[in-house]
Amino acid sequence: MAGLQKQKEQYADAVTALSDPAKTRLVLVSRAQRSALEEVSRTSGELQDVGMKTQYLVVNGVLPEDFGDELASAIRSRQQAAIHAIPANLKTLPTDEVALKPFNLVGLDALKHLLQEGNMPPTPAQSPEKIALPALHTLIDELAQQSSGLIMTMGKRRWPPRLP
């Protein structure tokens, strides 16, 4: 029983420290997606219930305004709709948005550039050089003439998936 009491005291001490805004800054981080923001909303409420009331929200990976890509524009529209429909308990939190970066955030150098302005948005990929390849029926005829071997194929699911 003494061990259980000690764990309760440690938990209470941790909650006290985490609830003290002079000692702790609680930052909730979410993607700009409805389901992610709903999860952060639930987490925020649970943390407030145990006394951690000083909270901040960072919405991460927000696509920059139009840079000429139809898919990116559609994703940005969905992100903006999610941000505008943010759950009520998150609307009162100080909030920052962090733009999606055109590089991986791995390592100290990358993190130093995380909040810098002026990074170029990712540009649509350029088409690769055209390579002269034989027609599929020609390839099949060549493979059929071989006396042995292994032909491996790989499939891909339908993209974009059909939505209900």
pLDDT at 57: 95
Split at pLDDT 50, 70, 90, the class of 163 is low
Could you tell me if residue 128 is inside a domain? Answer: no
Does the pLDDT at position 140 exceed 70?
Answer: yes
Q: Is residue 115 part of a domain?
A: yes
**Position 43 in a domain:** yes
Cβ-Cβ contacts under 8 Å for 143 (sequence gap 6 or more): 149, 151
Residue-wise pLDDT for 13-70, tens only, equals 888 888 888 888 889 999 999 999 999 999 999 999 988 889 999 999 998 886 678 8
User: Is residue 42 situated within a structural domain?
Assistant: yes
Please provide the size of the chain in residues.
164
Q: What is the CATH number of the domain that holds 20?
A: 3.40.50.300
DSSP characters over 55-115:
EEEEEEEEPPS--S-HHHHHHHHHHHHHHHT--HHHHTS-EEEEEPPSS---SHHHHHTTT
Q: Please indicate, yes or no, if residue 77 is contained in any of the structural domains.
A: yes
Number of domains in the chain: 1
Task: Please check whether residue 155 lies inside any domain of the structure.
Answer: no
Q: Is the whole model's pTM more than 0.85, yes or no? A: no
Residue 81: inside a domain: yes
